[in-house]
Amino acid sequence: MTIKYKTIKEIKKMISQKEISNKEIVQEVYKLAKENSHLNAFVTLNEDNSFKKAEDLDNNPSGSSLAGIPIAQKDLFCTKGLRTTCGSKILNNFIPPYTATVIENLENAGCISVGKTNMDEFAMGSSNETSYFGNVHNPWGEKLVPGGSSGGSASAIASGIVPAASGTDTGGSIRQPASLCGITGIKPTYGRVSRWGMIAFASSLDQAGPMARTVEDCALLLNEMCSHDIKDTTSLDEDIPNFEDDLNQSLKDKKIGIIKDLDLSTLNNDVVAIYEDSLEEFVSLGAKLVDISLPNLSLSVPTYYVVAPAECSSNLSRFDGVKFGRRSEDPKDLEELYVQTRSEGFGDEVKRRILIGSYVLSAGYYDAYYKKAQQVRRLIKKDFDEAFSNVDVIMTPTTRGPAFEMGSKGDDPIQMYLEDLFTISANLAGLPAMSLPNGNIDNKPIGLQIIGNFLNESTILNFGHMYQTKTNWHMYTPEGVKK
């Protein structure tokens, strides 16, 4: 009995039917992790604790919803006693004294956190090439990037090591790697999942969410991850539905918004064809296509690249070598302590964004950049509000193309930033959005994005699940279609 490529639902059944013990599951996870060590998906493994928890579960079986489910946690969530690097040299030695709320929620539901996954440094990147701990490889092709920043999580699922992982999404960091690795991932409404213990990149955009093989599994995970947390004042005090309840609702007469302002001509032809096939599939499920307009959508990327760096330039100020993390050796004075620690500790992309952020917030430039960006952000949000008055969901391709080769975006950050063209607007508007596999190009997976209205995760999960009952793109693995 193997758990490779199995879904959470399948593993739950295996456990309940005693086909496999919790300890055997953990053994298999680490066996698979070692077989796939070339993927570099993990920064730190959590073997001792995981075996202990599995043995406890074998001795005292638990009825918790996710009891014994192995999960990989993005190395951006603080985990008490377990090194948390955020993909950065500056946190190379950081062992947090506390655990993030979302990790606690998952562990309370019975999940076993088997390790911490590699990621772009401080979640800044779309290819996992900015990690201090080296590139993550896409299981679909040795030279391919897995996407980013939650690339380690996506790679660990796509390679079948784990059925589930946590991710975070600031501009597409769950959805883009999900698309490039052929798995399903959802960024919930901003505020659904507590940010306590999530190392901040851009606080007003960051949101944690689940990554898994199916929409159904994402719903299971999301049920446990969401909570109202008094330690995070931006966490929403709203009812949290059971996200499994509406999965099988009929899509008859439901409306899918198609953004008519979207210029698909710059996309890979195959991406467009696959996207259009998917829309046909939804029409055959009873849904209707409705043209909508999001006139300010084209401003998303520039807006994002003002707001996110601004917040990150401030959020990352605490990494100064004074209190925690890495400190440069023998600075001659305070100034040198700061300069050396931060020069040595941060990678190029992080430095670039700190510079951009400091610039757009500085006296004399604030109004032209940061303030303007905030105004545009409100307009983008308003566009979505209007669109959702008439449709249930909005669909776009998740990415402009399938996984690209490492190094292929060269030194042009703009090319890399455009990777998030379709995903960024949901973060700016705080809306829930999902990516799920909807095709294959030269044996490289590609995803469909479904954006939902505020707090309406259930609707996008419903659309996604119905699609997965009719198609088998989510069954594709690098080793062929799963039986």
Residues taking part in catalysis: 74, 149, 173
Local structure of 437: helix, strand or coil:
strand
Report, in Å, the least distance between residue 273 CB and another protein.
40
Report, in Å, the least distance between residue 356 CB and another protein.
12
When the beta carbons of 272 and 322 are compared against another protein, the nearer one is 322
From CA 286, how far away is CA 320, in angstroms rounded?
56
Residues 6+ apart with CB under 8 A from 182: 140, 158, 437, 440, 445, 447, 473, 474, 476, 477
Q: Which of 13, 31, 93, 98 binds another protein (CB under 8 A)?
A: 98
Note whether 204 binds another protein by CB under 8 A.
yes
Q: Which of 198, 274, 294, 448 binds another protein (CB under 8 A)?
A: 198
Window 62-91: contact mask with another protein (x via CB under 8 A): ---------------xx-----x-x----x
Per CB under 8 A, the segment of 109-117, 196-204, 214-222, 393-401 that binds another protein is 196-204
Phi, psi of 165 (to 5 degrees): -155, 155
From CA 324, how far away is CA 77, in angstroms rounded?
16
User: What is the Rg, in whole angstroms, of the alpha carbon atoms belonging to the chain?
Assistant: 21
In the block, tokens 């990516």 appear at 435
Report, in Å, the least distance between residue 82 CB and another protein.
13
Per CB under 8 A, the segment of 61-69, 171-179, 358-366, 414-422 that binds another protein is 358-366
Cα-Cα end-to-end distance for the chain:
14
From CA 100, how far away is CA 232, in angstroms rounded?
11
CB 380 within 8 A of CB 297: yes
**Size of the chain, expressed as the number of residues it contains:** 483
When the beta carbons of 273 and 334 are compared against another protein, the nearer one is 334
From CA 296, how far away is CA 450, in angstroms rounded?
19
The interface with another protein within residues 447-466 (CB under 8 A) comprises: none
Report, in Å, the least distance between residue 128 CB and another protein.
20
When the beta carbons of 252 and 323 are compared against another protein, the nearer one is 323
Report, in Å, the least distance between residue 338 CB and another protein.
6
Note whether 94 binds another protein by CB under 8 A.
yes
- How many binding residues for another protein (CB under 8 A)? 44
When the beta carbons of 189 and 396 are compared against another protein, the nearer one is 189
- Say if residue 320 is exposed, middle or buried (CB neighbours under 10 Å; 0-12, 13-18, 19+): middle
CB atoms within 10 A of CB 315: 18
Note whether 200 binds another protein by CB under 8 A.
yes
Report, in Å, the least distance between residue 203 CB and another protein.
4
From CA 272, how far away is CA 186, in angstroms rounded?
22
Report, in Å, the least distance between residue 314 CB and another protein.
5
Is beta strand 112-117 parallel, antiparallel or unpaired with respect to 70-74? parallel
Note whether 107 binds another protein by CB under 8 A.
no
Report, in Å, the least distance between residue 294 CB and another protein.
24
CA neighbor of 157 nearest in space, from 103, 114, 219, 107:
114
From CA 128, how far away is CA 267, in angstroms rounded?
22
When the beta carbons of 80 and 482 are compared against another protein, the nearer one is 80
The interface with another protein within residues 218-237 (CB under 8 A) comprises: 230-234
Q: Which of 12, 195, 213, 377 binds another protein (CB under 8 A)?
A: 195
From CA 269, how far away is CA 377, in angstroms rounded?
30
When the beta carbons of 29 and 307 are compared against another protein, the nearer one is 307
CB 467 within 8 A of CB 278: yes
The interface with another protein within residues 153-192 (CB under 8 A) comprises: none
The interface with another protein within residues 292-351 (CB under 8 A) comprises: 310-311, 313-314, 316-320, 322-324, 334, 338
User: Which parts of this chain interact with another protein (CB under 8 A)?
Assistant: 77-78, 84, 86, 91, 94, 96-98, 100, 195-200, 202-204, 230-234, 310-311, 313-314, 316-320, 322-324, 334, 338, 358, 361-363, 366, 370
